[in-house]
Amino acid sequence: MVMILFSGLGILWANNEAVAAESYIQRVADEVSSANLRTDVLDAEVDQAKKDGYTLSYDVMDDNHGVRHYVVLKLQYQYKVSVAALSGTHEKTMTVY
């Protein structure tokens, strides 16, 4: 019975990590979009993500004339279910226009 309780709590905690990562990448996407996809803002967000315990990277999609059309954000975060000793790195991706 106790094991079931702790397993449930572990799963809830892991879900909270996923929800937090989703909120984080959405906030970053809003900032980047508001800044018109500027590289300096992207680089600042990468640095801040590292401080916040995430790994953020991005791919810039420019056309042949150097016009930036969109950015693909990739946020990696740790996902853990402690009771089952399951863990791993998960990734959320978001496209910003």
Residue 20 has pLDDT above 80, yes or no: yes
- DSSP string across 47-58: HHHHHTT-EEEE
- Please count the other Cβ atoms lying within 10 Å of the Cβ belonging to residue 80: 14
Distances (CA, A) of 52 to 16, 25, 40, 62, 85: 15, 12, 18, 29, 23
pLDDT digits (tens, 9 = 90+) for 32-54: 999 999 999 999 999 999 999 99
Residue 1 has pLDDT above 60, yes or no: no
Q: What is the strand order of the sheet 55-62 is part of?
A: 55-62, 68-81, 86-96
pTM for the model stands at: 0.79
Residue 76 has pLDDT above 50, yes or no: yes
